[in-house]
Structures are given as structure tokens and as C-alpha cells.
Amino acid sequence: DNCIDEINVSSYNLSETKEKQIVKNFIALREELIAEGLFDVNSTYYIYKSAEAFGLLLFAFILQYFTWYLTSAIVLALCWQQFGWLTHDFCHQQPSKNRQNNDLLSLIFGNIVQGFSRDWWKEKHNTHHAATNIVGQDGDIDLAPLLAFVPDDLKKYKSLFEQIISKVIPYQHLYFTFMLPFLRFSWTIQSILFVISAPYNQYKQHVINAPAEQVCILLHWSWVILQLWLLPTGSIRILYFAISQLGAGFFIAHVVTYSHNSVTKFPCKFIKCIIYVYLN
């Protein structure tokens, strides 16, 4: 228990002795958790959660078939949220010790089912973990120009459009919740742009993965469009698309808000040094 209290650093203004003690306590805690088996893979859990998520997807299709369109759209939104957490874990190589299996399933769950690029997510999310909640480094807390989490965000408003937008920032507490559903639109658009440019990416692995990434994103939008086409009228198609997409965005964003955006941010200028610890 004493180890846990020494890990949650609230300030980077630490002495070298204190930093070494934090690392030592972290190693001790990690070894304790490993000894207790808390890092062991629970394959049964992931098989169950995967089956549950695919069950939601099938249920959404069945509801649509029986003309329960509104309920189907809501279930599909929940399905996409659940696949989001599954893909997150597979991208972290958590469910299996076989990295190829994890990468394949994250491609299926992420690109095909959700429309989120696996490699885009890894690049974005790995940066988030390397510099969690550090202003100017962690893209997950950079939502300018529509939202500003820290005063330094206001310095980013350079263009005329951004300066106009900055006039509404003092009222962001009024519209913040209404912005949450648009998270899925943002991530799907970023994913599309990423896979289009992937063949020209600076990282060789992204270039190698580009064809699979592009095909799988195309498959996602193919089945989504087919599903919409099977609906009876144009108005129902628009309503179904809006509810499923915005609903999924809200389901994902409200979790991210409480677990990420609501916690302490660290100005980059306060960082004395960055310690990389490789733990076997």
C-alpha cells in the first residue's frame, strides 16, 4: 500500500533522490502484482467480451430486420463503444501473448467493425501513454480550437477563424456535453485521412500495413452503407445514421472525459527530466 502512495506524482518538480525512490516503489509494486498473477492473461474473459460485442452487432441487425430501427441504432452505438474497449486492449497486446493475433484482431475489431484505423490509434495512443496529460505533448487533451482544457491552449489561436472561435471558449462549459457525441465523427475522419496517407508515412511499418488498413476501412464503410441502404426511406436512413454515430460518440466520449480529461494536466515547462524505465 505504501508503494501506491508514492507513484501518483502530482508535480514534476522533484529531486533526483525522490525520482529514484518513485521508480523503486513502482518496480516493487509491479513485481508484487506479477507475483499475485494480476498480469496473467484471462483468455476466457476476452472470448466472452468478444462474443458479447458481436452479439450486440447481430442483435442490432436483427432489430433492424424486424423494423425496430430506433432501438437497432442505439444497440449499434453501444456495440461500437464495446468494440472500442476491446480494440484498445488488443492494440495494447493485452489479450494474448501472440502479437500477430492481437494485431489481426485489432484490425478486424477496429478498422472493419468500428471504422477506426488500428495504426492511427496506436500512434495516437502510444504518444498519449508516453506523455500522459502533458500539455503540448499529449494529443488526447488537445481539443483546440473548440475546447480549451488549460490556459496554454488559448495561445494556439492564431488564424482569424481560430480567434473568432476563441470568443466562445468562455462558454465551453455550456456546450461541452453537446460536443461529446461528435467524437466518433472526429476519429473516423482522422482514421480515413490516416489510411489515405499511410503509403507515404515516415514509418516503414505504417507503409507496410497501409493496404490492409485501407481495405479494412473500406470494408467498414461498405457494410455501414449497405445497412443504411436496406432501410426503407431516406429520412429513416438519416435518423439511423445520426443516432448510431452520435450515440457511439457519446458512449465513448463520456468515459474518456471522466477517465482522462478531468484529471490533472502537467505543463511541459515544469518537467525536469523524463525517466524511461524498462521493466522485464
**Count of the separate structural domains present in the chain:** 1
Q: Is the pLDDT of residue 159 over 90?
A: no
Question: Residue range 49-73: average pLDDT?
Answer: 97
pLDDT-derived band at 1, boundaries 50, 70, 90: very low
Angle at 95 between CA 86 and CA 28, to 5 degrees: 115
- Name residue 275's beta-bridge partners: none
**Is 1 inside any structural domain?**
no
**Is 8 inside any structural domain?**
no
Tell me the whole-structure pTM to 2 decimals.
0.83
**Is 265 inside any structural domain?**
yes
Angle at 92 between CA 190 and CA 52, to 5 degrees: 85
Report the chain's C-alpha Rg in angstroms. Answer: 21
How many percent of the chain have pLDDT more than 90?
A: 56
In tens, the pLDDT along 72-125 reads 999 999 999 999 999 999 999 889 889 999 999 999 999 999 999 999 999 888
- State the DSSP code for 110: I
Instruction: Determine the structural domain holding residue 162 and report its residue range.
Output: 16-278
Query: Grid coordinates in use for 134?
Result: 502533458
In tens, the pLDDT along 165-209 reads 888 888 888 998 899 999 999 999 999 999 999 999 999 999 999
Question: Residue range 265-275: average pLDDT?
Answer: 54
Q: Is the pLDDT of residue 149 over 90?
A: no
Helix, strand, coil shares of the chain, percent, nearest 5, are 75, 0, 25
**Is 3 inside any structural domain?**
no
**Is 57 inside any structural domain?**
yes
Question: Residue range 6-26: average pLDDT?
Answer: 70
Distance of alpha carbon 252 from alpha carbon 234, whole angstroms: 27
pLDDT recorded at residue 156: 74
pLDDT recorded at residue 231: 97
pLDDT-derived band at 274, boundaries 50, 70, 90: very low
Please tell me whether residue 158 adopts helix, strand or coil conformation. coil
**Is 127 inside any structural domain?**
yes
pLDDT-derived band at 269, boundaries 50, 70, 90: low
pLDDT-derived band at 267, boundaries 50, 70, 90: low
**Is 232 inside any structural domain?**
yes
Q: Is the pLDDT of residue 41 over 50?
A: yes
| Residue 83 neighbours by CB distance under 10 Å | 24
